Structure 1
Amino acid sequence: MSAVLRPVVGDIVEAIIEGIPRDVPVYAMPMEGRFGQGVRQGVTVALNRFLDLPGTRLPALSEDGKWVYERLGRGEVRSGRSLESLLAAYRYGARVTFRAISRTIDVSRLPPETLLALGESLFAYIDELSAASAQGYAQEQSERAGEQLRLRGELLEMILRGDSSDGGVARLAAAVGWTLPEVVVVALVPFPHVDGLRAALGPDGLVAERGTDVVIVFPFVSRKPRRRDLERALRGRRAIVGPARPWQQASESLHLATAAGAHGVAPGPEQPHGDTAPVWVEDHLAELVVQAEPLATADLARTRLAPLDGLRPAVRERLTETLLAWLRHQGQRAPIADELFVHQQTVGYRVAQLKELFGDALEDPEVRFELELVLRAGHR
């Protein structure tokens, strides 16, 4: 069979090349240039190898042949096409080849089992070609994904450095398909909580590892919807989110997020299913300012909370809790009662105790300010 078909290999190749654009519409283009050369080479190598195989123990694909079909698979990724288009072209080539065999050889003289074996061999061979192309397609996708991650990480670092002088940030953002926003936030997520983080953030989030944390740069132009999106992606991850900044000042957002973590700013309130909301530094700025000088804050707390010394711990805890609510709500009983989940009469009783303990000091705006500072810093 091989000897009979060798002289007409060129005709079969041309029939396949001519028919592929009709049978696989995505290839409805002139078979010219590198694309046409690649297709012609693939068809020619496949046919000649197929004719070399009968009566031998050669593998279906030589190393060179395998490289050709892996390269065709890679080319589909680079051209933005699905692998299915290439596999459809292979199946079309198999049908054309089988018809050519039927025209060249008097198949009526072949035993049915021989004809069946021929068909099975041809389509098994196409499976080998398809597997090689699928491998090349997957490798190209993986390499491109890895390169994209590397470039996105490089973009994040450039933003954190504030590199804006030569337009490099804008060019790299365009290269990775990331729209450079005017305003961003920078968030930190500790390593034990990063599983599935990139998928949760989607393409808007830039992610890179730094020390024991993962750093995120996230667009924050539309404040409310962006905060909602980030809340959802970071829920349960013990994340700290720095304040919004122009992207050129993103390092400030990172600095404040890092400082909040270093000073133990508390996590957000418990969410359904026990998940914790991320810490938003903008909601804890006063606490962060106070925590920046813990020794001074502790000294101030000892001075201002001295009237409570000697009280039983449970009583002291109730009164400091009430004092903070009283300061925060400027003495309004209803919101204080709502916050503490107690009756307004209970608020009045506790405030009376506080006024008895602190005396005229509670009338001094400076003292009230200092009391609120130390209480917000967690002193009791």
Structure 2
Amino acid sequence: MTATPWRRLPADLSTAMRPHLPATVGAVAVAVTEATPAFATIKAVKFERDVRTAVQVALERFLDLVGTDEPALPPRFREVFVALGAAEAREDRGPEALLAALRMAARLMLRLASESLARLRPVDTGELIDLSDAISAYVDELTAASTDGYALQLREQAGEGDRRRHQFAELLLRGDGMPSAVEAAASRIGWAVLDEVVPVLLPPDQVRDARFRYGADGLVIERRHDAVLLLRAGPRTARLPLSETLAGRQAVVGPT
């Protein structure tokens, strides 16, 4: 398969499909949504509009590619699918739903394109193979763009989460925050209930282990010669289990 298999597609494919494009866009958008369980229950108007827009951009661009050596997705088209993947990450849905929807869209594109051509003239086996190759390669590009958007959004969210956790830890260490500000900062990192916080002084070489061991229950502030671990009160932070866990690590547990 060449890098641009749509070059082999017949010019009359566009002629066959463009007059019916609005109806095709609507049919594909509905079918993809209904066939994807994670999408089928979403009734938001914006989501429906975004799906329809993505389908329209995808189909129009595919028809523009027919008979050319152009790359599948120049930047302005690629950005649509990068944004689609990013939106899935923001909604806390896994990438599986979007990938399944794209696979469904590929099957529908092949069926609708072949049917459109068949209404004009007989279609031979070689043309169907070329059409299948072109659609597969094209949808692979859509998938890659969407996956990139998903990954970029996750990295951005992780960076924002780290920033919020650092700000909250600094607020606790300073001890000069208004109770309402402290509670709001705690809520932003998922600490909905803030009863007690256990401070632990750590040597620098124990920071990585502390982050891994305590995860979302701990905040670590690194300083020049040491680090401070702030633990949310819970079963693991009771004096006995905490002392056992930190034994031999040169850690000092402070008052709550």
TM bin, normalised by shorter chain, reads: 0.7 to 0.9
User: Which residue of 1 is the match for residue 92 of structure 2?
Assistant: 80
- 1:133 is paired with a residue whose SS is helix
Measured after TM superposition, the shift of residue 68 of structure 1 is 0.6
Contact map agreement 2:196 2:232 (CA 8 A) in 1:
yes
Say if 2:235 is the partner of 1:203. Answer: no
User: Which residue of 2 is the match for residue 150 of structure 1?
Assistant: 163
- 1:208 is paired with a residue whose SS is strand
Measured after TM superposition, the shift of residue 189 of structure 1 is 2.6
Cα distance, 1:51–1:157 mapped onto 2, change above 3 Å: same
Q: Show CA shifts across 1:162-187 (max 9, x none).
A: 23435101011111102443322212
- 2:222 is paired with a residue whose SS is strand
Q: Which amino acid in the other structure matches residue 74 of structure 2?
A: S
User: Which residue of 2 is the match for residue 243 of structure 1?
Assistant: 254
Alignment of 1:309-320 (within 5 A): none
Q: Which amino acid in the other structure matches residue 195 of structure 2?
A: E
Instruction: Say which of 232, 240, 243 aligns to 1:219.
Output: 232
TM-score w.r.t. structure 1 length? 0.59
Cα distance, 1:202–1:153 mapped onto 2, change above 3 Å: same
1: CA distance between counterparts of 2:237 and 2:43?
Answer: 52
Cα RMSD after superposing both structures: 2.3
Say if 2:179 is the partner of 1:128. Answer: no
Cα distance, 1:106–1:222 mapped onto 2, change above 3 Å: closer
Instruction: Say which of 78, 84, 90 aligns to 1:66.
Output: 78
Measured after TM superposition, the shift of residue 214 of structure 1 is 2.6
User: Of the two structures, which has the highest relative contact order with CA contacts closer than 8 Å and spacing of 6 or more?
Assistant: 2
User: Which residue of 2 is the match for residue 189 of structure 1?
Assistant: 202
Contact map agreement 1:12 1:96 (CA 8 A) in 2:
no
Cα distance, 1:98–1:201 mapped onto 2, change above 3 Å: same
Give the fraction of aligned pairs with identical amino acids, expressed as a percent.
37
Say if 2:104 is the partner of 1:92. Answer: yes
User: Which residue of 1 is the match for residue 9 of structure 2?
Assistant: none
Contact map agreement 1:31 1:37 (CA 8 A) in 2:
no
Q: Which amino acid in the other structure matches residue 48 of structure 1?
A: E
2: CA distance between counterparts of 1:221 and 1:198?
Answer: 16
Aligned residues: 243
1: CA distance between counterparts of 2:162 and 2:240?
Answer: 24
Contact map agreement 1:76 1:83 (CA 8 A) in 2:
yes
Contact map agreement 2:220 2:228 (CA 8 A) in 1:
yes
TM-score w.r.t. structure 2 length? 0.85
Contact map agreement 2:219 2:229 (CA 8 A) in 1:
yes
Measured after TM superposition, the shift of residue 153 of structure 1 is 0.9
Deviates more, 1:145-154 or 1:18-27: 18-27
Contact map agreement 2:236 2:242 (CA 8 A) in 1:
no
Say if 2:184 is the partner of 1:160. Answer: no
